[in-house]
Structure 1
């Protein structure tokens, strides 16, 4: 049994335990830990040690007695075979089977305590698990390919897809998700891989559909996708570059280079910070105090015109790009030939 609650807690959180379930599990772990301490009490260990010492001290005497008994048995076997009782032989065999365990108290008591602790914890965890409501989990849908070589998806609301789809999933359900996002204008490669770009487009769709932007595809998001509740169209790259040049007339090439470094000139780019706060759009406007200071919202920050104008207001405070992570590192943007 783990000797630290933190180990059990991390495992439970990884399995999706709620706060109430964590509290209940902690109480169960505490009881199991107390039972283990009881098994480790000094009185039991001392008694076991004494038993083991006594067993070892008496071993020579038992060996001498066993030798005399064996000699007497051999002498009696020649004349008393007719008087031998099968039940006596069975009893002797059982005694010989039990003899090796007579002196294990001191040497093997830790193993007995360990096995007891594991049994107690297993029983508690089994009882805890038995009280939890069961959610049906369908097996993941395997990616399928049609005769023309195109990937085939499955209905997101069917039993073949998870109730909630998330980043990292790779199956036919993701193929269908990407197909639906592309129908809304996402421009994704349909590869069945729920990667970073697919997650970004899911969040943008959720925002524009009036849903909570989690990046998780729950039932509400699935139904909104099938109903076509939002569009994901935005400016093409050439228009983005042209507009940045117009707004940042003071330093147009460096402005484009910063935006290219921050978002690859993608107006719908969304990055998640370690704190969980998002950066939004072309210039990756910080979704915390910066967005609030500029009077924006996530939906407004995904509008390329608003994002470029807001970035220029930030730039005008210092007339440089120090507010951006890429600001001092990038070289002026040079479009690739062709």
Structure 2
């Protein structure tokens, strides 16, 4: 077998594909960002978790020294590191050649993506593609992110390299609802790894915002629904929320607590939260509602409990029972249709 066939480094034709390959290397390692940082430091390289998160969350070529530091953390051989570095240099050279090409005259069609990139498509809300197709999705996100950068700022530069203070192209300092792109995709993957299921589609919608608020509440962070470096660092630490009750256990407990109307209890809880104990929603007036029976902030304050307590399914069901006992039914909750 020749050297090319033995080459363990997959090929890429765009910067986005190159970063996607690095993301796959990190994912296959099973290591958190902080663990990678410590291993890189032990190998004589400087790679803080925030820099690593920025590098893997963007679609532009990372710095050569950062790539080397990441690979060193995995005890990559010198020959393999050289192949990764050479691939990066080749991509950088191609990008330089494209930049030097004359601009297209008016009226000439211009390709939005480089060779090998897929055409842009609308955001998908159906979850994760297979590992072999991840480069394709990230390339799509890169194109869409460029097209929507003016509106959302999802791909604008926002981080600073703490080592030398120089700016790096990458994710914004704060991720928030309405953004779309690889930076949000990375956030969603971290939320899932932390025990909060959410569609991994690169879109920061209401589902992602709710999961962010649940994570912030359970970890004792300010509940803003936006994501800054502090939240990312917590997620990078491998922090996991307590395991959520499965739907079967929730149904069983509801029937035990509401023996007079077990079917009604399950139906109301399903309508309000989809039987999701970590569901958090923001309603039109800005109030937030928590857990299975969606108690809002005002109710929690009156009951003297905090938000993590509200996300505990046992407490939430028992509190709903108290309301049911006082009011004589489920009229306290308004829900037009099941989820």
Q: What is the TM-score with the length of structure 2 in the denominator?
A: 0.51
- Aligned position for 1:298: 307
The partner residue of 2:172 within 159, 162, 177 is 162
Q: Is the 8 A contact 1:208 1:299 kept in 2?
A: yes
The partner residue of 2:285 within 272, 275, 281 is 275
The partner residue of 1:309 within 318, 321, 327 is 318
Q: Give the SS at the match of 1:293.
A: helix
Matched, 1:223 2:207: no
Q: Is the 8 A contact 1:178 1:188 kept in 2?
A: yes
- Aligned position for 1:19: none
Q: Is the 8 A contact 1:204 1:232 kept in 2?
A: no
Q: Is the 8 A contact 1:184 1:233 kept in 2?
A: no
Residue 275 of structure 1 and its aligned partner are, at CA, apart by 2.9
Q: Report the structure, 1 or 2, having the larger helix content.
A: 1
Matched, 1:178 2:188: yes
Deviations 1:98-141 (A, max 9, x none): xxxxxxxxxxxxxxxxxxxxxxxxxxxxxxxxxxxxxxxxxx94
Q: Give the SS at the match of 2:132.
A: coil
- Aligned position for 1:90: none
The structure showing larger relative contact order (alpha-carbon pairs under 8 Å, at least 6 residues apart) is 2
Q: Give the SS at the match of 1:149.
A: helix
- Aligned position for 2:214: 204
Q: Is the 8 A contact 1:267 1:302 kept in 2?
A: yes
The partner residue of 2:132 within 148, 167, 171 is 148
State the aligned residue count. Answer: 190
The partner residue of 1:322 within 293, 312, 331 is 331
The partner residue of 2:205 within 188, 195, 198 is 195
Where do 5+ consecutive residues of structure 2 fail to align?
A: 1-56, 61-116, 118-128, 143-154, 160-167
Aligned CA distance change for structure 1 residues 198 and 233 (closer, same or farther; 3 Å): farther
Q: Is the 8 A contact 1:262 1:283 kept in 2?
A: yes
Q: Is the 8 A contact 1:206 1:212 kept in 2?
A: yes
Aligned CA distance change for structure 1 residues 249 and 291 (closer, same or farther; 3 Å): same
- C-alpha distance in 2 between matches for 1:212 and 1:291: 16
Q: Is the 8 A contact 2:193 2:240 kept in 1?
A: no
Q: Is the 8 A contact 1:237 1:265 kept in 2?
A: yes
Residue 219 of structure 1 and its aligned partner are, at CA, apart by 1.3
Q: Give the SS at the match of 2:255.
A: helix
Deviations 1:81-107 (A, max 9, x none): xxxxxxxxxxxxxxxxxxxxxxxxxxx
Q: Is the 8 A contact 1:254 1:330 kept in 2?
A: no
* Bigger Cα Rg: 1
Residue 242 of structure 1 and its aligned partner are, at CA, apart by 1.1
Deviations 1:42-80 (A, max 9, x none): xxxxxxxxxxxxxxxxxxxxxxxxxxxxxxxxxxxxxxx
Where do 5+ consecutive residues of structure 1 fail to align?
A: 1-139, 334-338
- C-alpha distance in 2 between matches for 1:248 and 1:147: 45
- C-alpha distance in 2 between matches for 1:256 and 1:287: 23
Q: What is the TM-score with the length of structure 1 in the denominator?
A: 0.51
